[in-house]
Structure formats: C-alpha cells, structure tokens
Amino acid sequence: MRLLGEDAEAAAFFLNRLAVRLRGVIARFNVVNQTSVAVRLARHLTDRPDAASGRNVSLGMTQSELAEELGTVREVVVRELRRLSERRLTASGGRGLYRVLDYPALRAIAETGE
C-alpha cells in the first residue's frame, strides 16, 4: 500500500486496471440481467467452432462451469439443454458433446431471443 501512496504512476496504473475490470463485470452483469439463460446458452452454442456444420461440438467446459459463465446454476443449464433437444434444435452427442440440428433457428434465439 505504501508504494501506491509514494508512486503516483503505479497508483494510476492499478486504478486503471481496476476500472477496466469493473467495466467488464458491469457489462457481464448487464448481459445476465437483460437476457434469459436460453438466449445466453444459444449464443454459447452457436459461437462454438463447427456449430453450423452439424458436427458434434463441445460445451468447452463442464456444465457447472458453463452455468457459472452464464450466470446461473447447473440445473438450469441442464433444463435449457433438454428444452433445446425437445425442440429438435440440438441433440446430445454423448460425453458432453452436442450436435446443433437447426443452426438458423438456434441462431435466431441467440440474436433475438425468439
């Protein structure tokens, strides 16, 4: 702490870094607050490499980690994945893999929430 009091340049650097991080947290909060889990999940899936190709894609993390990333809990992620499957937009490929069956429809959810 003494360094920050003695070195204005260091203090400015750390305050700038803190401000950047805080803006990132606020941006994430706004996304979580303004969009449903279904929309955030659709965005995540459509952003995965190979999602549009119809090949199996990985979530890129565990369901629990994805839930944390999306600002929810694992049970809600599981429920939303099941709903996407029931709507025939995705299918489970087993072992954490999913196939996007209807990329345009899933992309529409991601972009418009419909």
| CATH number for position 53 | 1.10.10.10
- The string of pLDDT tens digits covering residues 30-78 is 565 668 999 999 999 999 988 888 889 999 999 999 999 998 999 999 9
Count the domains in the chain: 2
61 and 80 fall within a common domain:
yes
14/60 same-domain check: no
Burial class (CB in 10 A: 0-12, 13-18, 19+), 6: exposed
Largest interatomic CA distance in the chain: 62
CA distance 23 to 53: 35
Same domain (yes/no): 54, 14: no
| Range 24-33 contact pairs with CB under 8 angstroms and sequence separation of 24 or more | 28/71, 31/71, 32/70, 32/71
Q: Which residue has the higher pLDDT, 77 or 23?
A: 77
Say if residue 84 is in the same domain as residue 113. Answer: yes
Q: Which domain holds residue 59?
A: 37-114
Same domain, yes or no: 27 and 42: no
Same domain, 61 and 77: yes
State the average pLDDT for the chain: 87
pLDDT at 95: 85
Asked if residue 99 and residue 57 are part of one domain, the reply reads yes
Residue 30 sits in the same domain as residue 45: no
Q: How far is residue 84's CA from residue 91's CA, in Å, rounded to a whole number? A: 8
Contact yes or no for 19/62 (Cβ under 8 A):
no
Q: What is the pLDDT of residue 30?
A: 59
- Confidence at residue 50, expressed as pLDDT on a 0 to 100 scale: 85
Per-residue pLDDT, 109: 95
Identify whether residues 26 and 73 lie together within a single domain.
no
**Are both 17 and 70 inside the same structural domain?**
no
